[in-house]
């Protein structure tokens, strides 16, 4: 399928069936209950994700996955963003599983990916340094050989589901350069500390490695390419979640504007509310267009995929933030209360825009790409 053709019938069926599952199994009251308990997600629902094949999307069947590609991941991301369901899907399937896959280590993939895809094991990726940077030329993490394994030392932060994962995929420097490692969290030398987060539906942790035994995945010194591929996919999936969340905020605001009566008529009949909702619709559809264009570019491995992902992450996250604020404004005082979901979306929007670089950083990189292209054409 291509951008012009849209999603296939099979992909739309996936959207319908997954939305039906979330409506049934992850209503607002369930989400609120789960976020107040450990491990921060519903294990039974996670196993249903695995049975449906959601936990193995984008992973080849030879490694226990359900196949598919980037479009299927974005379908799921949009639906996850609509309901804010707490789940290890992003950390396990999007980050960890695709990091192992990108390392092109068939032995490690055959051993690790089946358990990640069937839900028996959860995992995450630790990339951010203590300063909060997602991209850096070198790492403060160090790895030294110890027999057939390595000893990993260093500190990472903003690790999604870091306290609930069984494995941590991390990057550490060796004599050959930056390399990818898998570290079991129950081994001696791994300390996980939960971080306070504005977004209650996505838990974060700081993970400290103190001579923790780790397994090298892929070639020694070849982690840069893996990191680039995983961070690009992560940014796109987060853009998908943001688009789904923005659409949900808009739908909620419009429904309330139709129902709420003030001064003898629905507030949706007032010009200020009309314009707010109309502008919101234009913004959401624009964000969705940018998302889908970047999605197909990455799926088809176009050279412009990187630029389009930068644009999508920036635009979709800004749109989500605006939609969340507008949703609260339409609802008035009730939107700020704990009983209403509007503030949950506001919290998610604030955190999503910062994960894997904020909109300003993505726009800076987009501008750099464009200037390089312009200068290259002038030289040519």
Same domain assignment for residues 231 and 274: yes
The string of pLDDT tens digits covering residues 182-208 is 999 987 899 999 999 999 999 999 999
Of 89, 117, 145, the one marking the end of a domain is 117
Nearest 5°: phi and psi at 151? -110, 120
Same domain assignment for residues 295 and 348: yes
Same domain assignment for residues 138 and 245: no
CATH number, domain containing residue 353: 1.20.140.10
Confirm whether 243 is domain-assigned: yes
| pTM confidence score | 0.95
Kindly state the tokens that stand for 83.
């309901």
Q: How far apart (Å, rounded) are the C-alpha atoms in residues 304 and 294?
A: 8
Same domain assignment for residues 65 and 28: yes
Tell me what the pLDDT averaged over the chain comes to: 92
Kindly state the tokens that stand for 141.
């993490």
Same domain assignment for residues 211 and 238: no
Please tell me the predicted confidence (pLDDT) of residue 268. Answer: 83
Confirm whether 3 is domain-assigned: no
In this predicted structure, the answer to whether residue 3 has a pLDDT above a threshold of 80 is no
Confirm whether 2 is domain-assigned: no
Same domain assignment for residues 307 and 354: yes
The string of pLDDT tens digits covering residues 112-146 is 999 999 999 999 999 987 766 766 656 789 999 99
Same domain assignment for residues 252 and 360: yes
Q: How far apart (Å, rounded) are the C-alpha atoms in residues 348 and 343?
A: 9
Please tell me the predicted confidence (pLDDT) of residue 295. Answer: 97
Domain that holds residue 89: 9-117
Nearest in space to 316 (alpha carbons), one of 339, 340, 293, 343 = 293
3-class secondary structure per residue, 275-307: HHHHHHHHHHHHHHHHHHHHHHHHHCCCCCHHH
CATH number, domain containing residue 35: 1.10.540.10
Of 117, 134, 154, the one marking the end of a domain is 117
In this predicted structure, the answer to whether residue 68 has a pLDDT above a threshold of 70 is yes
The string of pLDDT tens digits covering residues 212-255 is 999 999 999 999 999 999 999 999 999 999 999 999 999 999 99
C-alpha to C-alpha distances, 199 to 57, 119, 330, nearest whole angstrom? 25, 24, 22
Q: How many domains does the chain have?
A: 3
Q: How far apart (Å, rounded) are the C-alpha atoms in residues 168 and 162?
A: 8
The string of pLDDT tens digits covering residues 300-347 is 999 999 999 999 999 999 999 999 999 999 998 787 788 899 999 999
Confirm whether 1 is domain-assigned: no
Residue where the block lists tokens 């604020």: 325
Please tell me the predicted confidence (pLDDT) of residue 136. Answer: 60
Same domain assignment for residues 80 and 157: no
The string of pLDDT tens digits covering residues 265-285 is 888 889 999 999 999 999 999
CATH number, domain containing residue 185: 2.40.110.10
The string of pLDDT tens digits covering residues 84-112 is 999 999 999 999 999 999 999 999 999 99
Same domain assignment for residues 156 and 40: no
Non-local CB neighbours of 103 within 8 Å, separated by 6+ positions? 109, 180, 217, 218, 222, 223, 226
Same domain assignment for residues 232 and 217: no
Q: What is the mean pLDDT of residues 4-27?
A: 89
Of 221, 251, 269, the one marking the end of a domain is 221
């Amino acid at each position: 399928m291509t951008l012009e053709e849209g999603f296939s019938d099979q992909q739309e069926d996936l959207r319908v069936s997954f939305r039906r599952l979330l409506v049934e199994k992850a209503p607002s009251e369930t989400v609120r209950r789960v976020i107040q308990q450990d491990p921060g997600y519903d294990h039974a629902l996670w196993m249903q994700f695995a049975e449906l094949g959601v936990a193995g999307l984008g992973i080849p069947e030879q490694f226990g996955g359900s196949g598919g590609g980037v479009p299927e991941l974005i379908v799921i991301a949009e639906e996850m963003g609509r309901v804010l369901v707490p789940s290890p899907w992003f950390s396990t399937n999007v980050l960890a599983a695709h990091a192992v896959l990108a390392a092109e280590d068939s032995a490690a993939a055959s051993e690790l990916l089946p358990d990640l895809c069937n839900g028996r094991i959860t995992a995450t990726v630790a990339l951010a340094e203590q300063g909060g940077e997602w991209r850096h030329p070198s790492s403060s993490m160090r790895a030294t050989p110890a027999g057939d394994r390595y000893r990993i030392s260093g500190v990472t932060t903003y690790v999604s589901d870091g306290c609930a994962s069984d494995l941590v995929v991390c990057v550490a420097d060796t004599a050959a350069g930056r390399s990818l490692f898998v570290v079991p969290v129950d081994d001696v030398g791994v300390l996980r500390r939960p971080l306070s987060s504005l977004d209650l539906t996505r838990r974060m942790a700081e993970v400290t490695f103190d001579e923790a035994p780790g397994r090298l995945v892929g070639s020694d010194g070849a982690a840069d390419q893996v990191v680039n591929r995983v961070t690009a996919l992560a940014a796109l999936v987060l853009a998908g979640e943001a688009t789904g969340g923005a659409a949900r905020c808009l739908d909620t605001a419009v429904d309330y504007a139709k129902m709420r009566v003030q001064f003898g008529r629905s507030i949706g009949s007032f010009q200020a509310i009309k314009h707010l909702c109309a502008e919101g619709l234009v913004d959401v559809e624009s964000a969705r267009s940018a998302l889908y264009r970047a999605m197909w570019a990455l799926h088809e491995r176009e050279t412009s995929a990187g630029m389009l992902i930068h644009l999508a992450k920036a635009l979709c996250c800004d749109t989500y933030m605006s939609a969340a604020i507008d949703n609260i404004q339409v609802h008035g005082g009730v939107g700020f209360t704990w009983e209403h979901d509007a503030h949950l979306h506001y919290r998610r929007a604030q955190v999503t825009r910062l994960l894997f670089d904020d909109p300003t950083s993505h726009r800076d990189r987009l501008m750099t790409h464009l200037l390089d292209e312009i200068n290259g054409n002038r030289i040519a």
